[in-house]
Amino acid sequence: MQLPDDLGQLTYCLNVHPTQTWDEVRRALEGPVAYVRRTLAPDVSFGLGLRLSAQALEELRAPDARAELKAILARHDYRLVTMNGFPFGPFHGVPVKAAVYQPDWKQRARLDYTCWLADLMTELAQPGDSLSLSTVPGTYGPLAAGAEAAMADNLLKCVAHCVGLLKRTGVSVAIALEPEPCCFLETIEGTLAFFRDYLFCDSAAARLAELSGLSLAQARAALPRHLGVCYDVCHAAVEFEDPTASVAALRDAGIPIHKLQLSAALRVRALDSATREGLTTFCEPTYLHQVVARSATGLSRYSDLPEALADPQRADGEEWRVHFHVPIFVADIPPFSTTRDFLAEILALHRRQPISAHLEVETYTWQVLPEAVRRQRLEVAVVKELEWVRQQLGVTIDADALTSG
């Protein structure tokens, strides 16, 4: 949905639905996505936040499949805005955990997959469109040692590919690295350093010029056009970032936020026996749920919730933030709260000075939330999330429309 006052496009990420195969993508577009569009944007184009696995992308190489996808987009008046190119393989119904980061940016397979996604995006878009493509934060943290140069070079090759696409199609695709707890790019500070030393430096511009045929000055201008970050609000909140300072730091460094993912994390204000017991209901086998605990001595990080709960050094009274995406229209999940206040502050900043052209709600954990939290159909919850965002931004909708879909 196009928001007024230069607030950008608002959508939601289709990774909340099964999208491993082209058939699953088709069912999502014809079913729940169509419901959301009818309910919130019945008379205007509806911007899509697509997610295609490597398998679905391979199936869409068939001309008939691509033709069917284009027909669906036209029939429902969908318009591609952004792509989630983070999860390469299965993302629902099987253990994902740290495999979600593979292949990483050290590997040719990640480069090829991202370039193929960009190719399809330009085929689905209109000349003049500017699209974003979010991707893994380099690699999983334990695998990052000494890999900075190799990851940077593959990213520059991807940028060169996007430069060529823009020249041939008139469509601009921006690769958006998504910092996440316990990953190579984890904090805003670490992200700033990687961009400064490997991506937006003189040697990177020279390498891009070599790869793309651009002049050095053109390469310097192309880097931020085609490379930046996806600021996932849940991830930043788990890391105890400062909302205002973190956005300002990226802006001051000239690192564009090509996508703002609107999400909230589970928050334990003060650890005690009741919250320890309650957290066990969020220990599930599909996704990593990284934990950052804040005590008087600073921050302690854990790659998954069971690991944090098993650490005898963790004391009552600490604040914990857990990378478990929760519905953003919910302020509390007793005995816990959420980091929705952090998200509200980010949206207030965006309302005053737009942070990104693409805003994407991303609560992909709906299927693994405790039963008490998911008491409504997923597409109804998505509508509530999108409407909550619109309200935060001062954009309202006719109440009758919310009950007629």
- For residues 89-104, average pLDDT: 97
How far apart are alpha carbons 155 and 173 in whole angstroms? 13
pLDDT in tens, 201-250: 999 999 999 999 999 999 999 999 999 999 999 999 999 999 999 999 99
* pTM, rounded to two decimals: 0.96
Give residue 25's Cα distance to chain centre.
18
Give, as one character, the DSSP assignment of residue 6.
T
Q: 113-129 burial string, b = 16+ CB within 10 Å, else e? A: bbbbbbebbbebbeeeb
**pLDDT (0 to 100) of residue 399:** 44
With 60 as the cut, is the pLDDT of residue 191 above it?
Answer: yes
**pLDDT (0 to 100) of residue 223:** 98
Q: Before 224, cis peptide (omega within 30)? A: no
With 90 as the cut, is the pLDDT of residue 398 above it?
Answer: no
With 70 as the cut, is the pLDDT of residue 81 above it?
Answer: yes
pLDDT in tens, 244-292: 999 999 999 999 999 999 999 999 999 999 999 999 999 999 999 999 9
Q: Band the pLDDT of 132: cuts 50, 70, 90.
A: very high
Average pLDDT over the chain reads 96
Strand partners, 231: 260
3 state SS for 329-373: CCCEECCEEECHHHHHHHHHHHHHCCCCCEEEECCCCHHHCCCCC
pLDDT in tens, 139-153: 999 999 999 999 999
Structure tokens at 157: 């090759």
- For residues 198-202, average pLDDT: 98
Which of 8-12, 48-52, 211-215, 367-371 bottoms out in mean pLDDT, i.e. has the lowest? Answer: 367-371
Residues 6+ apart with CB under 8 A from 342: 233, 236, 237, 243, 264
CA within 13 Å, CB half, 225? 19
Closest C-alpha to 368, from 378, 380, 382: 378
Residue 313: CB atoms within 10 Å: 7
**pLDDT (0 to 100) of residue 396:** 75
**Amino acid identity, position 405:** G
Whether the Cβ atoms of residue 349 and residue 243 lie closer than 8 Å to each other: yes
Strand partners, 140: 183
Closest C-alpha to 187, from 334, 292, 62: 292
Could you tell me what percent of the chain has a pLDDT over 90? 96
**pLDDT (0 to 100) of residue 330:** 94
**Amino acid identity, position 190:** G
Structure tokens at 202: 């003189």
To which H or E segment does residue 82 belong? strand 78-84
Residue 45: CB atoms within 10 Å: 16
- For residues 67-85, average pLDDT: 98
Residue 74: CB atoms within 10 Å: 10
Handedness of CA 129, 200, 103, 326 (dihedral sign): negative
Q: Band the pLDDT of 375: cuts 50, 70, 90.
A: confident
* Backbone φ and ψ of 299, nearest 5°: -100, 140
Q: Band the pLDDT of 374: cuts 50, 70, 90.
A: confident
Burial label for 186, CB within 10 Å (0-12, 13-18, 19+), is buried
With 70 as the cut, is the pLDDT of residue 397 above it?
Answer: no
Closest C-alpha to 287, from 266, 270, 269: 266
